Amino acid sequence: MTTDSVRSILKSANFNYSEECRLGRIRFRISAATSSVADAFRTSGMVCEPSPSNNSLHLSLFAHSLRHNLAGAMSVEVVFADSTLHNLKPVALTQPIDVVYTWVDSEDPQWQRDYAEALALHGPSSPRTSSDIIRFQDRDELKYSLRALEMFAPWVNHIFIVTSGQVPPWLDLDNPQITLVSHTEIFEQQADLPTFNSHAIEANLHRIPGLSEHFLYFNDDVFLADWTTPETFFTPNGETKFFESENHVPSDPSVTDLPSNWAAFNNKKLLEESFKYIATKKFKHTAHAQRLTTLQKAATHFREKVEETTAKKFRNRSDISLPSNLAHHFGAIIGTAVASDIRYRYIDINSARVDVELSRLLLWDDPTIFCLNQVTSRIYPDKSEVTMIRNFLEKYFPWKSSAEL
């Protein structure tokens, strides 16, 4: 819509222009004075913001002062003739970058039967937080995460959604950019299925057929919130970037510790035993940049632990977490991953102030990416919780993506 409006205004004002596509967005190059171009757009009712270098304008149909991240994502860039292409920052990483999501629908009757059977057999030996049904609840997060992805990372090559054979009812199966992948396609031992262990599923993502060398691994509760480029997640040479949190790996986790803490602890032991490498910090709940070959090498090097993790029906204290933790450290050791940082917000849905935190995120906070996480069920469940999250996501990401029917 904004692009068509820009074309119409440029033609009406008799400006000579050309178009180019950069990172999934149209850019217009124009031979005219900056002031006259800006005046033409403002007269037509468009919001017009100059870039810091004053060699381009960002145009939008609504105010940048309100949700400027959305305004920026929906804006169109006009570059002036006195700013040559070599003055613009090039995109160094030109290889395709895929995205992998893991998703589950706990309302599916077959899934519920399988879950009940596995819970009866394996639940007593698993940490309570591993089998808590809240871990599998779907609030349509995937739908909104895909909206965010299309809005803030249109340069993504292909999207793989890994499920237990389920299909989101709103998903457009005819979209050529999306492929559904069943657990049966990536698990070597079918006896390990069905699984309810996220560590087991992610430990086999490197087996996805057709997956590109560079990809991002998303949980469906992770959302982009501002414009990104490949260099948000990868270096110009293609190394992955990882984002350490302020939380340290526990040195002596207790039996009541979360399975994710146990996995980080187990990863730390493996790295120290194999490479004398000391891992001290955990990682932020963001999209995890991956190199397929690095993931494959890590899975081969730690094959015994990968197989042990894969065999567990629910997350277990003996698990490792491969792409979300171990592969980052492994990549740092072999020279394919580097530490970096990203603007980030983490919100615990169980927080007593979750409504306040969501309001701040919607109105004031300025992250590049955020996570809405829930570790355990509330003691007194609030039925309005699902409605609250869905309403927030609908307000934050109001436009349907091409992934939706």
Do 31 and 65 fall within a single domain?
yes
Please tell me the total count of domains within the chain. 2
- Check residue 52 and give its pLDDT: 56
- pLDDT score, position 62: 54
369-403 confidence digits (pLDDT tens): 999 998 765 544 566 788 899 999 999 998 899 99
Both 61 and 159 in one domain: the answer is no
Same-domain pairing of 37 and 106: no
Q: What is the pLDDT of residue 378?
A: 55
pLDDT at residue number 45: 72
Same-domain status, 72 and 112: no
Confidence of residue 4 (pLDDT cuts 50, 70, 90): confident
Closest alpha carbon to 144 in 75, 69, 224 = 224
Question: Does 226 map to a domain?
Answer: yes
Residue 401 lies in a domain: no
Asked whether residue 252 is assigned to any structural domain, the reply reads yes
Distance, in Å, from the CA atom of 221 to the CA atom of 203, rounded to the nearest integer, reads 19
The dihedrals phi and psi of 27, each to the nearest 5 degrees, come to -120, 135
Distances from the Cα of 70 to the Cα of 61, 84, 221, 401, angstroms: 11, 28, 19, 14
In this structure, are 173 and 75 located in the same domain? no
- In-domain check, residue 291: yes
Give percent of the chain above pLDDT 70.
Answer: 85
Expressed as residue numbers, the domain containing 48 is 2-87
Question: How far, in Å, CA of 188 to CA of 168, rounded?
Answer: 25
Please indicate, yes or no, whether residues 215 and 80 belong to a single structural domain of this protein.
no
Least confident of 16-20, 89-93, 352-356: 89-93
Residue type, 124: P
Domain membership of residue 47 (yes or no) is yes
Query: Domain of 142: which CATH number?
Result: 3.90.550.10
Residues 82 and 159 in one domain: no
pLDDT digits (tens, 9 = 90+) for 72-112: 666 667 776 554 443 444 445 789 999 999 999 989 999 99
Q: For the residues 260-284, what does the mean pLDDT come to? A: 96
What pLDDT, on a 0 to 100 scale, did the predictor assign at position 199?
97
Residue 129 domain flag: yes
pLDDT for the residue numbered 66: 46
C-beta of residue 275 within 8 angstroms of C-beta of residue 198: no
Domain ends where: 87, 115, 147? Answer: 87
> Mean pLDDT throughout 260-266?
95
Give the separation between CA 299 and CA 296, rounded to whole angstroms: 5
Give residue 363's pLDDT.
Answer: 86
Say which residue the tokens 């698993």 belong to. 126
Assess whether pLDDT exceeds 80 at residue 57: no
In a domain, 405, yes or no: no
Residues 321 and 179 in one domain: yes
403 found inside a domain: no
Angle at 53 between CA 47 and CA 55, to 5 degrees: 65
Tell me which of 64 and 80 has the higher pLDDT.
Answer: 80
- 218 and 313, same domain (yes or no): yes
Query: Are 177 and 224 in the same domain?
Result: yes
Say yes or no to pLDDT of 63 above 70.
no
DSSP string, 259-316: HHHHHHHHHHHHHHHHH-----EEE-SS-EEEEHHHHHHHHHHTHHHHHHHHH-SS--
Q: Are residues 380 and 288 in the same domain?
A: yes
The average confidence (pLDDT) of the chain is 87
Residue at which a domain ends, from 54, 87, 120: 87
pLDDT at 306: 98
Contact of 291 with 213, CB cutoff 8 Å: yes
pLDDT for the residue 64:
43
- More confident call, 149 vs 70: 149
The domain boundary, picked from 61, 87, 113, lies at: 87
Residue 254's pLDDT band, with cuts at 50, 70 and 90, is confident
- Mark whether 104 and 249 lie in a shared domain: yes
